[in-house]
Chains A and B, each alone.
Chain A
Amino acid sequence: MSNEYEPIIIAFCCNWCSYAAADSAGTARLQYPSNVHIIRCMCSGMVHPNYVMNALTQGRADGILMCGCHIGDCHYQDGNKRAEKRAEAITLMLEDFGLEEERFRLEWISASEGPKFVEVAREMTRALKELGPNPYKT
């Protein structure tokens, strides 16, 4: 039992949309794996690419999920567009570090999309379980 690998996923959720979606998944009692740990940020644009890269290259998580508002819905107008650009750069950097692309995911999830948050949480946990632990984990 203790040998079975359980991936650790850190999910950065923006206060206005995706954090609310995770909340509403709770209100609806939708179930998803406890592998996902949410960190609240005010905007997906608040997430420095270093947080993601350090978390992965220091073996703090097996996967990182970045969630924000749909384009056009950002509470700060276009913070999420910044996040989108950074996500592209992060995806390229993952390759350089020998990290599989499944270990980072960007999703736009609106406040009423609790079911989508759950779906993403389940899918990512499944994918990372199959993939195996982060090679940078000690």
Chain B
Amino acid sequence: MKGSVLIVGAGPAGMRAAAELINQGFKVILVEEKPTIGGKMAQIDKMFPSNECSTCTILPRMLELTSNPNMTVVAFAEVKGIDGEAGDFKVKVLKKPRYVDPMKCTACTDCFPVCPVGGIPMEFNFGRGAHKAIYFYSPFPPRKALIDPEKCTYILEGKCGDKEVPPCVEVCEPEAIVFGQKPAEVEFNVGAVILATGMDEMKTEALEALGYGKLPNVLTALEYERLLSGLGPTGGVVKRDDKKEPRSIAWYVLSNPSPTGFMTAVAEAMGTIERNPDASVSVFYEDINLARDDYANFYHRAKESNINFIKTDCISVAEGEDGNVDLTYDKESFHAEMFVLVPPYAPTEGTLKLSKTLGLEVDEWGFYSKKTDDTHPIHTAKEGIFVCGSAQEPKGIDDSIIQACSAASHAAALLAPSRRTELVPPPEKDILPVKPGDEPATLAVICRCGVNIAGLLDLDELVDYTKSLPHVKHVEVTPFGCDGVAIREHLKTKDYNRLIIGGCSPKTHEDLFSLHTEMGGLNRYLMEIVNLRNHCTWVHSTDKPKATEKAKTLMRMGESRAALLESLDDIHVTVTPACLVIGGNPSGIACALKLGQAGLDVYLVDKETDLGKTKENQNRFVEKMIVELNSNDKVKVRTEAKVGRVEGFVGNFRAEIVKNSGNESIDIGSVVVATSGDMRAESDNGDFEKDLLLQRDDKNFFIGMLGILNPLDFNTDGVFKCGSARKAMGILDAIIDGEGTASRVAGIISKQELVKSPAISVVVDEKCDGCAYCIEPCPAQALTLIEYMQKDSVKKTVEANEAICRGCGVCMATCPKEGIFVRHFKPEYFEVLINSVTGSE
């Protein structure tokens, strides 16, 4: 049985399923048909109903995933066939030719300016904005160039202008361009497959009848998202193709069984009026079906923001003056300078192709959706092949995330015996011991980054200056620092105990440079990245002397911080490999069952005398689950019981199960709250809700962590919620919720220990006087005030819980006594950075 899973589709659902599975000990291959990952989520500006920025939310997750050695991203590829059976599938994947070797391409972009073929409409922006024949598909990873074979003259005709050698090849230092590249078929041997191929806007005659493709300034909702996005073709300013900024914009939501379309219009209208409060913004719709409280709240907010909502089932469109669109509805007329259509959703081409290739059942629209009550929505007819997200049925992002977690739990339950068998072991490292008092000996590596840095700065001046900085022992200039060659070679001499890299951004390269640093034998926390590219050469490119001056300042700043850095070790928190599920209803039962099937110990506590007694559980699906549950020896069901006190923190909770026949004290690593509103703990038995800092809203549902990607999480680490504990939902949704939560839990308790970054808070007891200013502001509630005896006096100090501290630094910035600091972000580091900007002592 294989310990790996192949996921098709790298949108929010695919990426989340990947992250969940890697976290539970399975290797993941993520296949994506486009050259970059992110799906529709990478194309939209804000998400409903939270109005969060999509890019800010997804980019950190993408970077975490793509730098994980247990994740293989195969972008620009298609699944051609799946043979075998659950536990042992052979998946054939066809890699499309980029004509660029992704292992060599460093994303320096030297090739773009020299390519003579331009003006190619950007597919990622639905035809707006243009690119050269060699280009990046989108701003998202994998950041590797590709060549359009239908536009590149060298591929089409064997020549490029009048040049012997195409200019892109000439400028490419890593020699990454490979015109002879052919499609390549690879086969992956995995234990399970998850299909997450998403949805697309349905573009039919209905749209044409409303002017799409006929009148200028009629767009679809996704096209409009690209105009709202700061990474889009207009830099986040909504502009028409004639460059005019529209002052009146109308949306029309075509009839749609799911609320996704209407909510999309609401989100776009809100995004528009936020940027331009004077704009006239109207949303026309045929019907609304909001289904959820949070959707309804978002809609009400929008109504209060001066957005007009007009219900009509009869709207017609005519060309107006100056490219405007004249709308007529119910005998009224409306002039819009831009008209946005929100069509219903259709399965992607990828889904349609794949369902045929694999012979999988689809519904009348082509989604992997079952209409019978007997089949689980996540299952397909083929055991071991699961579906999730909008490919199953159009849905919002948070629902896609929950289904992705559920799919992960199904795959994990199937492959439980082979957990961790295919994980890549961490490489052997021989790290130089460096103590805080040691004199710094700094290696400076300045990256030319092709021409990105070297092309603008006076490199000689920068090198000379860097040599003159205190503690710098050697300056090495390298064409591409990211290949690690210069870093490893020089660090291996063991002559240096600090490394500064004059290069690109830590946001994209910190993990990679940390890896090179450690492979060279130096603790990763002794490395400092100076952003000479994104924060200097790329943004001050018209003034070489000023850019060089600033580069010198940035190096000086970086060097001053590097000198103070300390060697730090990761934190290890032991984990009790068990879970407590509170609430024997459909979601609690589903959660406990998936955990038991995954080979993990779980306690399920319910107040009834029998799980079958609860009304909701009298359902075919649930009854079957109860039978399986009772025969799974990993699941310990405690009926006629309540949960009293729960003490501890993630990985290390102790809970009291209260029964008339006597209490039971259990140790667990994680807690799941699956209770309905009425199951409140009684105060004389202790209140787990208070102990775990759980809060309810005015409808009695539990309030969780902020953020659309965290629907199942509480703010308290290691504690999760599902089903009717978090909102009203049907039984099938509650089951999927519970299964999703099982995946969240398994990510913790399937591990022997949690490893986390040491960049968390440390109390300086000599300075802390227990004023407690830091306690309440801590967003993670990781700080506790304690009293102690010191020479017959009672003193106070703060205890920081390193398992739950997240290193945000709010405590450090609140403290008036320098009594607490965040490792790797000490106040003195900020001081020297500030002081070194002007270069004066």
Contacts and interface: CB of A to CB of B under 8 A. Distances in A.
A73 B229 CA distance: 16
B231 A112 contact: yes
A15 B825 CA distance: 12
A32 B780 CA distance: 37
Interface residues of B, number: 66
A115 B235 contact: yes
Given A27-B139, A46-B810, A10 B834 contact: yes
A60 B547 CA distance: 20
B812 A48 contact: yes
A99 interface: no
Contacts of B553: 37
B696 interface: no
Contacts of B715: 77
B60 interface: yes
A78 B535 CA distance: 27
A107 B312 CA distance: 41
A59 B838 CA distance: 9
Nearest to A64: B834
Interface string A9-53: 010000111011111111111111110011111110111110100
A37 to B, nearest CB: 5
Interface residues of A, number: 60
A37 B561 CA distance: 15
A61 interface: yes
Contact of B808 (A24, A26, A39, A45): A45
A55 interface: yes
Contact of A116 (B230, B810, B812): B230
B546 interface: yes
A20 B546 contact: no
Q: Among the interface residues B45, B54, B706, B815, which one has the most CB atoms of the partner chain A within 10 A? A: B706
Contacts of A61: 834, 837-838
B807 interface: yes
B53 interface: yes
Contact of B60 (A16, A70, A72): A16
A84 to B, nearest CB: 12
A25 B822 CA distance: 29
A8 interface: yes
Contacts of B812: 46, 48
Interface string A49-76: 1010011001111000000011011111
23 contacts: A10-B834, A17-B56, A22-B535, A24-B230, A24-B231, A27-B139, A32-B539, A32-B540, A42-B825, A46-B812, A49-B813, A74-B706, A75-B60, A76-B780, A77-B780, A79-B809, A79-B810, A110-B53, A110-B230, A111-B55, A112-B45, A112-B55, A112-B236
Interface of B: 45, 50-57, 59-60, 139, 229-231, 235-237, 505-508, 531, 533-536, 538-543, 546-547, 549-550, 553-554, 557, 705-706, 715, 759, 777, 779-780, 806-810, 812-815, 822, 825, 827, 830-831, 833-835, 837-838
Interface of A: 8, 10, 15-17, 19-34, 37-43, 45-49, 51, 54-55, 58-61, 69-70, 72-79, 82, 86, 110-116, 118
